[in-house]
């Protein structure tokens, strides 16, 4: 059972990422803050007696549900469904060499090539924008898997889809980000 300090520490560690993830989805900072606040209250009211180790998964699920509720309330579910569609194509990249782009991450983005001329803030802003531009399901899978550090099964549980879908979304997201960042000169 999580005590007050453990609950507070967990929320403190998760709140900014939660806000950012939600803001990516709803594109509205005030709405994202409301959703995160509602999710925190729901977690505190119904799941504060759960072990600390379970909180990240539960909070992720609550946040996803709260975000979907927000879309429903906004009566733009059709748009959300369209955004959340699994039909994004990741296979039309022609001669883009993913392996080459990914291998380049062993070097430093900020030390070579055109990125030398970019300030650190610009680099961060570009990455932020490219993550924001990902299709919603890809972004959700990517952030849950690699930012929240959930495993594939947990990510699938939060997203309400299969583990295979999570792997596909993550792979496509990485592919799209690698390509977009490479096009911006963020590679060795």
Partner 1 sequence: MNGTRVYRVDLDALQARFALRVTSRLSEQTEKLPHDLSERLRVAREQAVARARQLRLAQPATAPALQVSQGSIALGQPVSGWLRVASVLPLLLLVLGLMLIQHLHNQAEIHAAAEVDAALLADDLPPEAYSDPGFVVFLKQHEQ
Should residue 37 be labelled a site residue for partner 1 when binding is judged by CB under 8 A? yes
CA distance 137 to 173: 9
- Minimum distance from CB of 160 to partner 1 (Å)? 21
Out of 87, 106, 111, 119, point to the residue binding partner 1 (CB under 8 A). 106
**3-state class of 93 per DSSP?**
coil
Should residue 150 be labelled a site residue for partner 1 when binding is judged by CB under 8 A? no
Rank residues 57 and 143 by Cβ distance to partner 1 and give the closer one.
143
- Minimum distance from CB of 9 to partner 1 (Å)? 10
Should residue 29 be labelled a site residue for partner 1 when binding is judged by CB under 8 A? yes
- Minimum distance from CB of 153 to partner 1 (Å)? 16
Residue from 117, 134, 116, 123 nearest 177 by CA = 134
Tokens, residue 89: 């194509």
Show contacts of 77-85: CB within 8 Å, 24+ apart: 80/136, 83/135, 83/136, 84/136, 84/137, 85/135, 85/137
DSSP letter (8 states) at residue 75: T
Torsion sign, CA atoms 143, 133, 71, 36? positive
- Minimum distance from CB of 74 to partner 1 (Å)? 21
CA distance 26 to 71: 8
Residues 162-181 that bind partner 1 (CB under 8 A): 170-171, 173-174, 177-178, 181
Are 49 and 2 spatial neighbours (Cβ–Cβ below 8 Å)? yes
Residues that bind partner 1 in the complex, under the rule CB under 8 A: 4, 7-8, 11-12, 15-17, 19-20, 29, 33, 36-37, 40-41, 43-45, 48-49, 98-99, 102-103, 105-106, 109, 123-125, 127-128, 131, 142-143, 145-147, 170-171, 173-174, 177-178, 181
């Amino acid at each position: 059972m999580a005590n007050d300090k453990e609950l507070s520490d967990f929320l403190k560690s998760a709140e900014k990422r939660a806000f950012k993830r939600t803001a990516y989805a709803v594109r509205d900072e005030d709405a994202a803050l409301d959703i995160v606040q509602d999710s925190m209250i729901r977690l505190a009211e119904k799941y504060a007696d759960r072990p600390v180790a379970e909180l990240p998964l539960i909070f992720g699920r609550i946040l996803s549900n709260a975000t979907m509720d927000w879309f429903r309330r906004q009566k733009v579910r059709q748009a959300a469904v369209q955004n959340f569609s699994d039909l994004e194509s990741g296979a039309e990249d022609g001669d883009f060499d993913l392996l080459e782009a990914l291998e380049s991450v062993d070097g430093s983005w900020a030390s070579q090539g055109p990125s030398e001329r970019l300030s650190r803030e610009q680099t961060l802003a570009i990455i932020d924008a490219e993550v924001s531009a990902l299709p919603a399901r890809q972004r959700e899978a990517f952030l849950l898997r690699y930012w929240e550090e959930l495993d594939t099964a947990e990510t699938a549980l939060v997203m309400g889809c299969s583990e295979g879908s999570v792997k596909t979304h993550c792979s496509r997201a990485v592919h799209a980000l690698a390509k977009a960042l490479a096009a911006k000169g963020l590679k060795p």
